Amino acid sequence: MKKLIFFALGLALFAFSCNSSKKAGADKATTYNPATDTLRLPQEKHLRNVRQMTFGGDNAEAYWSFDSKSLSFQATNEKWGASCDQIFTMDIEGGTHGGQKPQQISSGVGKTTCSYFMPGNKSVLFASTHGEDSGHGCPHAPRSVDGKYVWAIHQEYDIYVADLNGKILKQLTNAPGYDAEATVSPDGKKIVFTSTRSGDLELWTMNIDGSDQRQVTTGLGYDGGAFFSPDSKKLVFRASRRKTEEEQKVYKDLLARGLVQPTALEIFTCNVDGSDLRQITNVGKANWAPYMHPSGKKILFCSNHHSQSGRQFNVFSINIDGTGLEQVTFDTAFDSFPMFSPNGKYLAFASNRNNGGTRDTNIFLAEWVD
């Protein structure tokens, strides 16, 4: 989920506390001291004043409020009573205060994914299985089937909007099958999401109130994890395109079982109506979690194409024409879900860095340097 809890791929394959002259949410320029920027790796020239926002558990997919002051995110953390992914929010000034449980948005029933602030910053969009969860438990999610690494595509997922106290305000989807991976356009008018309602994992859009649901993509394969461009006119997303008959058969057979194999993905863009579809990366392995630079001229994404074992994931940058591939983060295990704040000053991302040798994935915040 945007999404699909992609950080679990890195964790399944292998196993911040930084002083800054002022808080990351402030507007004045900071006085930078590299000696205190201990969570930034030396090669990470586009990051500075890196701060750790969560401390323990599996935390990922941290997405910004429209005012650049808060993050919504999903977490599995037994200490917070979240035995599978639930949705939380936190203020960027304080993070989770060294491990304290932040404000929970989801009910704790079933499993959730892919939260995103709605316009006005008073409510949050997310997908949940709670509407069809009679046992109040976490749905079964196999990691391996027939020797293949897989994700579960939970047919129970629908998309909801809740206020910041967790009260469900509206259900936006109710079609049979998987509806999840929803994000909101910067102009606050549209939502893009992934659905199986037409028989394949395709991108769909709808108005901010859930009306006028339209299919965007049609190619056989998994289209998901979509975000809008800064001008709200284009989409950037990950996709698999199975070319041989055998690959297509395997894909269809797994999908019929509610599963997908996420090990061969590339980054694509298209207009919001699906026109001008373009493949941006062609580097092999798993490329996902794309997000556009505020200029609209570059895309940040996560990839393991540089790793011989496929176990190391880092953030890369590429021009929208497919040129200028550049590595952004250099962690030895896992960095992903790069998300620019609406004001363009900060980058939120998930990482295994500074986890004390555990498998914890935490959320980090950095000032962005072009």
Residue 213, token pair as written in the block: 């649901």
| CATH code, 19 | 2.120.10.30
Q: How far apart are CA 320 and CA 296, in angstroms?
A: 8
Please give the DSSP secondary-structure letter assigned to residue 339.
E
Average pLDDT over residues 66-70: 97
Scanning the chain, the segments in alpha helix (DSSP H) are 7-13, 245-256
| 314 part of a folded domain | yes
- pLDDT band for 133, please (50, 70, 90 cuts): low
| 352 part of a folded domain | yes
pLDDT at 1: 52
Question: Does the CA dihedral 197-198-201-207 come out positive or negative?
Answer: negative
Q: How far apart are CA 188 and CA 66, in angstroms?
A: 9
CB atoms within 10 A of CB 239: 25
Answer for the pair 58, 86: CB distance below 8 angstroms, yes or no.
no
Q: How far apart are CA 198 and CA 195, in angstroms?
A: 8
User: pTM score, two decimals?
Assistant: 0.91
| 140 part of a folded domain | yes
Residue range 264-284, pLDDT digits in tens: 999 999 999 999 999 999 999
**Domains held by the chain: number:** 1
Residue range 139-197, pLDDT digits in tens: 988 889 988 899 999 999 999 999 999 999 999 999 999 999 999 999 999 999 999 99
Please give the DSSP secondary-structure letter assigned to residue 130.
G
Residue range 194-246, pLDDT digits in tens: 999 999 999 999 999 999 999 999 999 999 999 999 999 999 999 999 889 99
| 336 part of a folded domain | yes
pLDDT at 247: 95
| 1 part of a folded domain | no
CB atoms within 10 A of CB 354: 17
Residue 353, token pair as written in the block: 């860095």
CA dihedral 38, 43, 48, 53 (to 10 degrees): -60
How far CA 353 is from CA of 35, 261, 315, in Å, comes to 18, 26, 13
In single-letter form, the type of residue at position 247 comes to E
Q: Which phi and psi angles does 34 have, rounded to 5°?
A: -55, -30
Q: Which phi and psi angles does 249 have, rounded to 5°?
A: -65, -45
In this prediction, what percent of the chain has a pLDDT beyond 70? 91
How far CA 269 is from CA of 35, 198, 225, in Å, comes to 39, 21, 12
Comparing 44-48, 95-99, 321-325, 348-352, which segment has the lowest mean pLDDT?
95-99
3-state SS, residue 36: helix
| 2 part of a folded domain | no
> If phi over 0 gives left and psi between -120 and 50 gives alpha, with beta otherwise, what is residue 274?
left
> Which residue range(s) make up the domain with 252?
7-368
Residue range 12-58, pLDDT digits in tens: 333 333 333 333 444 444 578 888 999 999 999 999 999 999 999 99
Answer for the pair 51, 103: CB distance below 8 angstroms, yes or no.
no
User: In sequence order, what are the residues at sequence separation of 6 or more whose Cβ sits closer than 8 angstroms to the Cβ of residue 350?
Assistant: 7, 59, 60, 61, 62, 334, 335, 336, 337, 361, 362, 363, 364
